[in-house]
Structure 1
Amino acid sequence: MHPAFSVIFLTTLIGVGQGLFLALYSGQIYSVLEVLPPQDDRLFYGLGSGLALVFLALGLVASVFHLGRPERAWRSASQWRTSWLSREVIVLPAFMGLTFLYGGLHYLGWDPVLGTVGEGIAIHLTLIVGALATLACFALFLATGMIYACIRFLQEWATPLTVVNFVLLGGASGFTAAAAFAAWTAPALTTFFGGWAIILTLLALATRGTTLIRNARIKHKSTPQTAIGVRHAQIRQTAQGAMGGSFNTREFFHGRTAAFLRSVKWVMLVLVFAVPVVLLALGLTVASGTTLVLALLVQYLGLLAERWLFFAQARHPQNIYYQAV
């Protein structure tokens, strides 16, 4: 497939925003359970939620550049009964609204206790709003991943690993962002977020590596025979049937060599996983916020390469017919 950079930025940016929110809410839950020290509502949770919203908004803006008729974007939500894309279009603003409400309540300090459970554990309003936002967050991960995983004829995408990778990569980058943010605003939580960022990055390496191995071993169901409906043992294409390119050759094939794809794969493995883990470990050891910020920047650059490869590796069956351009 031909990777669209608007979609690459959309999926990676909202992934960071989703992961960052999950990190913030996890920190609040742990502090309520007295595992972590409480933090300043306005500075940490309020500004942190605002930062998550910035990532989500940038992703939303990036998606506009993929639309041929942006003024008709509202129609994309009309097929929510059958389309994962429509569900994503609905869930994304809902999640953004709940994140805004969660951060706003913290920032304004309006967080009444609604009740208690167990041994006097107070249930604040922000815990309820955060729980709803968490459900919306995972629904958004599911919808975004299933847009691609539900396309059965693209065998590289048609696997539950697609959704799992979206969740883990978003979570890893979000917790890395939370570690960098905490280093400047809540140092007591830096180790917690950084440790989980390393764990999630290693889990993402395991599942993404499994996907790479799986895709390399795929036996594609479509062949030149099925592409043109001729059951001859030997079929060789000498031309695509047109003098120039077409929509099919522009939108469904990236035009890069196999060597280029291998290079992107190694760049992705180094920048998304290897270097960030080293930088996170170093940043936590020497308590350097700058190193943690660098880990986030490197990992995000790697995520751009990862998402480009995700699209480029999908072999659309129509490319069998248009293989000789």
Structure 2
Amino acid sequence: MHPALSVIFLTTLIGAGQGLYLAMVTGQLYAVARFLPRQEEQFYAIGSLVALVLLIAGLVASFFHLGRPERAWRAAAMWKTSWLSREVIVLPVVMALVFAYGIAHLLDWTQPLFRVGQSLDVDVTLLLGLLGTVASFALYVCTAMIYAGVKFLEEWHTPLTVTNFIFFGAASGFMLAAAYSAYVGNPLVTFYGTWAAILTVVALGSRLAHLLRNARIKHKSTVQTAIGVRHTALNQMAQGATGGSFNTREFFHGRDSKVLILIRYCFLVLVFPAPILLIGAAYVTESSTLPILAFAIQFVGLMLERWSFFAEARHPQNLYYQSVA
């Protein structure tokens, strides 16, 4: 498939935004459980604002992928059958809850509404955080299922696509939370950095399993089945047209196999070992810049990973364009 830059930005930005929001809520839950000290409300408010900015940026990026942006509202019409429609509906819900969560902290709406058990005080921020967490995971699933639900693209049609989107988004979000904590001088940089490293390792396992699965795929469609000729040696000498077409532009990336391998090795280094090593070095040196560098490097790697994810999908229509695809 042809990786659209707008979709790469959409999926990586909203994934990191959701992950950062989940990191803020996780930090608050640990504080409520008295495993961590309670932070100032401004810390959660600014973190939520950054998450909201990323979500908005991802939404803006999505408009560059539309042929008729003024008709974007119609994308929600098929919510009963389309994962894209569900994503279009859930994304504004997540944005609204992230905004409300940040505002609640900014206005210090932390008076307990009721108590659970002996010591768990539930306030508005905690309720909004839990609702936003559920909505964020729903958005991860909706975004991933847009691709995992396409049965004829066998490289995508697997639950591993869903786990990749969840763990990549969560890892980048917690890595950003560590960078944010380091930037403002908050002691939670160790907490968020540790969780970021754990989630990055889990994401590595999920992605390696995905790559191994795709390497072993035996495609149902071949040149022989495409044209109904059983001969073992078939070669297409021409694509049947003098120029390119929508099919050859949109369903094939147009890059050499060596480029695909290079990008794969690059993202495997930039997403996984590099940020983990930088976070580890930040612990030893107590550096406030290394966590920021770790997030920046990982995010670049995530964009390469998402390019590779789209490019590795082999659209069956390319069987008819062997001289091009």
Stretches of 4+ aligned residues off by more than 4 angstroms: none
Q: Percent identity?
A: 59
Give the secondary-structure state (helix, strand or coil) at the position aligned to 1:277: helix
d(CA) in 1 for partners of 2:184, 2:37? 13
Q: 1:19-98 to 2 correspondence within 5 Å? A: 19-42=19-42, 44-98=43-97
Question: Would the aligned equivalents of 1:169 and 1:201 in 2 still touch at CA under 8 Å?
Answer: yes
For 1:268-308, what per-residue CA distance to the aligned partner results, in whole angstroms no more than 9, with x for missing partners?
00111111010111112222221100001000000010000
Question: Would the aligned equivalents of 1:165 and 1:207 in 2 still touch at CA under 8 Å?
Answer: yes
Q: Give the equivalent residue in structure 2 for 1:208.
A: 207
Q: Give the equivalent residue in structure 1 for 2:283.
A: 284
Q: Give the equivalent residue in structure 2 for 1:316.
A: 315
Q: 1:39-188 to 2 correspondence within 5 Å? A: 39-42=39-42, 44-185=43-184, 187-188=186-187
Give the secondary-structure state (helix, strand or coil) at the position aligned to 2:191: helix
Q: Give the equivalent residue in structure 1 for 2:239.
A: 240
d(CA) in 2 for partners of 1:145, 1:283? 33
For 1:23-44, what per-residue CA distance to the aligned partner results, in whole angstroms no more than 9, with x for missing partners?
00000000001000000002x0
d(CA) in 2 for partners of 1:190, 1:274? 18
The residue type equivalent to 1:28 in the other structure is Q
Q: Give the equivalent residue in structure 1 for 2:260.
A: 261
d(CA) in 2 for partners of 1:323, 1:246? 14
Give the secondary-structure state (helix, strand or coil) at the position aligned to 2:113: strand
Question: Would the aligned equivalents of 2:2 and 2:249 in 1 still touch at CA under 8 Å?
Answer: yes
Question: How many correspondences in the alignment?
Answer: 324
Question: Would the aligned equivalents of 1:37 and 1:188 in 2 still touch at CA under 8 Å?
Answer: no
Q: Tell me whether 135-144 or 219-228 shows the greater mean CA deviation.
A: 219-228
Q: Give the equivalent residue in structure 2 for 1:251.
A: 250
Give the secondary-structure state (helix, strand or coil) at the position aligned to 1:116: strand
Give 1:125 deviation, angstroms: 1.0
d(CA) in 2 for partners of 1:90, 1:304? 25
Give the secondary-structure state (helix, strand or coil) at the position aligned to 1:122: strand
Give the secondary-structure state (helix, strand or coil) at the position aligned to 1:50: helix
2:16 is aligned with 1:16: yes
Question: Would the aligned equivalents of 1:39 and 1:186 in 2 still touch at CA under 8 Å?
Answer: no
Question: Would the aligned equivalents of 2:183 and 2:289 in 1 still touch at CA under 8 Å?
Answer: no
TM-score w.r.t. length of structure 1? 0.98
Q: Give the equivalent residue in structure 2 for 1:3.
A: 3
Question: Where in structure 1 are there 5+ consecutive unaligned residues?
Answer: none
The residue type equivalent to 1:63 in the other structure is S
d(CA) in 1 for partners of 2:119, 2:310? 50
d(CA) in 2 for partners of 1:76, 1:241? 35
TM-score w.r.t. length of structure 2? 0.98
Q: Tell me whether 253-262 or 112-121 shows the greater mean CA deviation.
A: 112-121
d(CA) in 1 for partners of 2:52, 2:283? 26
For 1:235-282, what per-residue CA distance to the aligned partner results, in whole angstroms no more than 9, with x for missing partners?
221111111111100000011111110000000001111110101111
d(CA) in 2 for partners of 1:313, 1:180? 31
Q: Give the equivalent residue in structure 1 for 2:189.
A: 190
Aligned-residue Cα RMSD (Å) equals 1.0
